[in-house]
Amino acid sequence: MPLAEDRMSSLVAVPLAAATVEILLADSQRAATAGADIVEWRVDTCQHLGASPEDVIAAIRLSPLPVLLTIRHADETGAWTGSAIERCRLLQAADMAGAAFIDIEFARVGDLGAWRPERARLILSAHDFSGMGKDLGGLIARMRAAGGLPKVAVTARDAADLATIRQLLVSRTGDLIALAMGEHGMPSRLLAGVWGGFLTFARLDEQAGSAPGQPTVTELVGRYRIHAQRSDWRILGVIGSPIAHSLSPHIHNAALSQDGVPAVYVPFRVEDPMAFWMACGSWIQGLSITIPHKHALLEIVAGVEPLVTAIGAMNTIAMVNGMTRGGNTDAAAIIACVEGAAGDLRGKTVLCLGAGGVGRAIAHALASRGAKLVIVNRTHARAVELATEVGGVAVSESEAYGVAFDVLVNGTAVGMGKPQESPWPAERHRPGTVVFDTVYTPLTTRLLHDAQAAGARTVPGLDMFILQAAEQYRRFTGREPDTALMRAAALARLNPSA
């Protein structure tokens, strides 16, 4: 039984419902195989799908995992339409049949009268599907006084709300389940083991319906190492909006896991970065920053690298001697990508396509290495401004066709997600040059394909992504990362069927 009182980590519960007991048991076995500790059988939904509540309860003894039994009423966002007396009768039967936990909304605990489970542990739940609830501390105290293990599930409106959940958990006076629903609340589920949550919920797989922001059990157990998490683990992450597509949790957690580093890296969906940092910055030891927040936190760090100021964008906050230090690891990655293929850049002509965020990092990084920069951008005024900053030349698209470049770098978004589009005409490639495309979806863009066909040496955008992440990892952990492992984790995410 994995529910011993002396357990060190959070338990993983997988909510399940099925039309037959056979499917419910098969899904419970899948949950066990994936690493879950508990299955939550939703009797209300099972009945809605066609299974009899009595049959479900009779199957508890056959479950491969301890069962948390829930019968949520239709007016509690469940599917149960029976009477309070009938529900109480079923919960009593579940207790006798060997359920490990029985869950009922705290607002309905009066329906149980004086009855309390003899064998099962009673979970008293409160949900707020639209906000963060009120007086959660007082609510939890009343749940404990009523003899229950408290569960509060509220809805985060932004990642700053995570601070409330963390505070509840780290100051708990007994077992507590506390989580924030929604994508903004997702880290509360991923960090339950660090914050000391009694259990956390996960979906069986990608297909399984769930509360919004619920990870799969495989993600929680594998990528986020929930069973290994301890209260002294460091918390790292990436902020952005949107963030669900981010590769960073995949590659950083793969490296942290391989190196056995007591730290976990989570995706924070953040709308207001300053509010997030004020609420949560004190317990985050390293942060990657992505679109649209690369400019947002410049003023909160104690120090920044010179290139950050020049580029005007920061993609990393790391703790150095207890102080926050802002960096731009894109710049170092760009230099490594280009010099790795083209060698020493002093005196070489680099044609830069784009003057957006990445275009600025390219221009400043390569100018710092002595390259002669020629910049072309759809909005010409931005190219002029950037060329002035880096001592380069801004040209129009037609003028760019006549430039005798050694290196061509694409920093525009052209080609991203569109394998047929290229920012540069195929017939304008020059053999013997180096062509670097920062776009990495698809992995081989039309630009790279055309350049290879014309006899140019190519550098794919994934190289930059891995190198910037590797540099962040060094700053977060002080360790040298296994970049081959990081690349494999990225490729597994980008190309899951390969």
Residues that bind ligand NAP (CB under 6 A): 291, 354-359, 377-379, 382, 411-414, 416, 438-440, 461, 464-465, 468
151 tagged catalytic: yes
Please say which residue, 177 or 439, places its beta carbon nearer to ligand NAP.
Answer: 439
* Active-site entry in 73, 252, 294, 364: 294
Helices (H), 393-460: 397-400, 446-453
Phi-psi group of 241: left, alpha or beta (phi > 0 → left; psi -120 to 50 → alpha; rest → beta): beta
Q: Is 6 exposed, middle or buried (0-12, 13-18, 19+ CB in 10 A)?
A: exposed
Number of CB atoms found within 10 A of residue 119's CB: 12
Nearest distance, CB of residue 369 and ligand NAP, angstroms: 18
Nearest distance, CB of residue 152 and ligand NAP, angstroms: 38
Q: What distance in Å separates the CA atoms of residue 139 and residue 133, rounded to the nearest whole number?
A: 10
Cβ-proximal residue to ligand NAP, closest one? 356
**Pairing mode of beta strands 177-181, 149-155:** parallel
* Active-site entry in 151, 250, 252, 364: 151
Q: What distance in Å separates the CA atoms of residue 455 and residue 41, rounded to the nearest whole number?
A: 61
Q: What angle do CA 460, 464, 467 make, to 5 degrees?
A: 135
Which tokens in the block code for residue 397? Answer: 């698209």
Q: What distance in Å separates the CA atoms of residue 176 and residue 198, rounded to the nearest whole number?
A: 5
* Active-site entry in 73, 95, 127, 252: 127
* Residue-by-residue DSSP string for 240-264: ESS-TT-SHHHHHHHHHHHHT-SEE
294 tagged catalytic: yes
Number of CB atoms found within 10 A of residue 42's CB: 25
Which tokens in the block code for residue 423? Answer: 């920012």
Nearest distance, CB of residue 413 and ligand NAP, angstroms: 3
Please say which residue, 215 or 359, places its beta carbon nearer to ligand NAP.
Answer: 359
Count CA within 13 A, CB hemisphere, residue 85: 0
Nearest distance, CB of residue 387 and ligand NAP, angstroms: 13
Please say which residue, 200 or 438, places its beta carbon nearer to ligand NAP.
Answer: 438
Q: What distance in Å separates the CA atoms of residue 483 and residue 474, rounded to the nearest whole number?
A: 11
**How far is residue 3 from each of residues 120, 144, 202, 228, 293, measured CA to CA in Å?**
12, 19, 17, 15, 42
330 tagged catalytic: yes
Please say which residue, 14 or 459, places its beta carbon nearer to ligand NAP.
Answer: 459
Nearest distance, CB of residue 131 and ligand NAP, angstroms: 33
Which letter does DSSP use for residue 61 in this model?
Answer: G
Please say which residue, 260 or 417, places its beta carbon nearer to ligand NAP.
Answer: 417
Nearest distance, CB of residue 214 and ligand NAP, angstroms: 28
Please say which residue, 29 or 441, places its beta carbon nearer to ligand NAP.
Answer: 441
* Active-site entry in 27, 44, 103, 330: 330
Nearest distance, CB of residue 187 and ligand NAP, angstroms: 23
Please say which residue, 66 or 359, places its beta carbon nearer to ligand NAP.
Answer: 359
Catalytic residue numbers, as ranges: 127, 151, 294, 330
